[in-house]
Chain A
């Protein structure tokens, strides 16, 4: 019998498989091993965020996603001899803003270094980065995700940010395997990046995904990065290892080629599972770089690049230290304050961050926390919601139900965003007001909503009139209808009189069906109860 694979969560099954062992021997080893804690995953993220600026980090070339190849390249970007880097003030401000939003300490003095390695898309042979003293250190990112069967229990966690540094992006390589060549486009070479290094404090794909989503919202709110993973504006590499709590960290692997937040969660979970299986079958985890294959959901080892790289870091001789100043007062004499980066000025420009927005929405409108997350996550949804609330006299809690369920449901199924909604905030407000005033029932309203979606040119009133969906409020009419139902269902009435009140719901359903949902369930229930008793 080979090595015993003991799965602590299902010891009985394994006992059956290992029945060749002496009973007492197995019991002892199981007892020993089951007292060991379970292995857990350890995840640390390295995120590269492309700075949203007009020109590049060290040169005056335009930053744009799509452009003819090599058209946005200056002499410096092409690493022609005799060119020098000139730092872009907007990129420094972007890094400081991001650092402030993530509660980092901004280093008043930071230094630039060269990181040497050879690759065709980096013509200089080195990348200018900030390895020794980066611009911001020791921050924290607070993120939340939802647990529970109905996904409504919020769990809030935080992860420490080790540092934020400014660095250059490399160009793009297009691999042409047929002709055994690589085509190089340097449009992206030299674009400013913010590298965010997080401490390995997360334990699974879900946490990492939630953290990255929150970071995306923060960067978009600040305007420092558009954070679109599919377009490469936000690149996430995950460092994954497994260990037992209390023991030293295991060997880590780096997972690259992750193009969306969902893929990130999948890749990390697969890698943790793979490493646990390797260790449980007495193997060793290799310190390697693996690529995520979205089709299979697996990670595959990347080609080993000449063993462990030695980047031969050296100070960038062409750039003196970068100073950022606390306030206008601390700017030395003879220096134009408009020319330098002043932290106070930037903290004054910080917009409302997503977490603050959520708290404000919950407090102002009394909605649930999970609703505030949906409102903040969708672009433009907050404005839509606030618009409806202001126009209609209904309670925000009722409005939010319409916005989250009906509106978002339809938008998601047709893959539209809020700005493309066929129903305007005013139209929705009108509909909700009609329900509140008792002119139509809530179930009819849902029907009307779908009709409005299909025919946005018609008003609410038109649709209700066309399909004769006005609520029946006439007491006599209601009595007549209920009497009809009660009379045609004598057996059910007997059962109700016998004590089973649940059958009343069936009668109510009959009434609703008869009237095509144009009745108020509360009134009908009262009438039926009186009739039956």
Chain B
């Protein structure tokens, strides 16, 4: 799988995530818990390390391999592709997606009990409220110039949402594309 350093992680922590199951390596079986309490393992490790300088970044890489059967089912990825209109194109594309998700999964290690979620760093600022006056508009020509094809000052679109072709058809379509 994509993690080559798993074998080296003898005292590794296990950021568990409901989506990805984890291969239990023989060396880890006694330190690994069944579900979701890896954070308590981590504090234990911290307290026992006795170092004045406590970094939240683990000293040893903590990647874990993910078995094929633990990956999200292929139609979930397909559904994501339809919703976001992003084509993963091939196995490499899906692997790339998996890596990206895995990287982000590290966020689940952090304890956020009692901490309000933050959407924006500007939460302590006043949201500026504008006066109700007309300040923009009347630039139809400028906007229509951006479209290749217009009809009498309207933008032109296909008659409805064109559903993404099925996976098999897509691979035929993209055979000659960069993917």
Residue numbers of A with Cβ under 8 A of B are: 53-55, 59-62, 68-76, 78, 80, 86-92, 111, 116, 118-121, 173-177, 180-186, 303, 305-306, 310, 312, 315-323, 335, 339-341
Contacts and interface: CB of A to CB of B under 8 A. Distances in A.
A304 to B, nearest CB: 10
Contacts of B153: 68-71
Interface stretch (B7-15, B122-130, B167-175): B122-130
Contacts of B154: 69-70, 174, 183-185
23 contacts: A54-B134, A60-B134, A61-B136, A69-B140, A69-B153, A69-B154, A70-B144, A70-B153, A70-B154, A71-B138, A74-B139, A78-B143, A78-B146, A87-B128, A89-B131, A120-B158, A174-B154, A183-B151, A185-B154, A310-B79, A315-B119, A316-B119, A322-B127
B132 A89 contact: yes
A320 B125 contact: yes
Chain B, interface size category, equals: 35 or more
A124 B170 CA distance: 25
Contact of B134 (A61, A80, A121): A61
Chain A's interface: helix, strand, loop or mixed, by majority? loop
A37 B130 CA distance: 55
A182 B158 CA distance: 6
Contacts of B125: 320
A345 to B, nearest CB: 14
B163 A315 contact: no
B120 interface: yes
Given A184-B154, A184-B157, A60 B127 contact: no
Contacts of A90: 131-132
Given A70-B144, A182-B158, A183-B152, 11 more contacts: A62-B134, A75-B143, A118-B85, A119-B161, A181-B157, A183-B155, A305-B161, A320-B126, A339-B128, A339-B129, A341-B129
Contacts of B129: 87-89, 92, 339-341
A442 B140 CA distance: 63
B40 interface: no
A377 B23 CA distance: 71
Interface of B: 79, 82-85, 119-120, 122-123, 125-140, 143-144, 146, 151-161, 163
Contacts of A181: 151, 156-159
Query: Which are the 7 A-B pairs with shortest beta-carbon distances?
Result: A60-B135, A120-B157, A74-B136, A90-B132, A315-B119, A89-B129, A183-B154
Contacts of B85: 118
Chain B's interface: helix, strand, loop or mixed, by majority? loop
Given A59-B136, A89-B132, A111-B119, A70 B126 contact: no
Contacts of A121: 157
A306 B133 contact: no
Contact of B126 (A53, A173, A340): A340
A186 B144 CA distance: 11
Contacts of B79: 310
Nearest to B142: A75
B87 to A, nearest CB: 14
Contact of B155 (A184, A318, A319): A184
A306 B163 contact: yes
A54 B132 contact: yes
Contacts of A316: 119
A87 B127 contact: yes
Among B85, B120, B143, B155, max chain A CB count under 10 A is at B155
B163 to A, nearest CB: 6
B134 to A, nearest CB: 5
A73 B139 contact: yes
B123 A320 contact: yes
Contact of B82 (A73, A75, A306): A306
A72 B130 contact: no
Contact of A116 (B83, B122, B158): B83
B136 A182 contact: no
Contact of B156 (A61, A80, A87, A184): A184
Among A70, A91, A323, max chain B CB count under 10 A is at A70
Contacts of A80: 146
A60 B160 contact: no
B120 A315 contact: yes
Contacts of B155: 70, 120, 183-186
A126 to B, nearest CB: 11
Nearest to B121: A320
B157 A86 contact: no
A71 B132 CA distance: 18
B133 A55 contact: yes
B126 A317 contact: no
Contacts of A70: 140, 143-144, 153-155
Given A73-B139, A184-B154, A177 B159 contact: yes
Nearest to B122: A320
Given A69-B153, A177-B159, A310-B79, A55 B127 contact: no
Contact of B159 (A71, A76, A180, A310): A180
B132 A321 contact: no
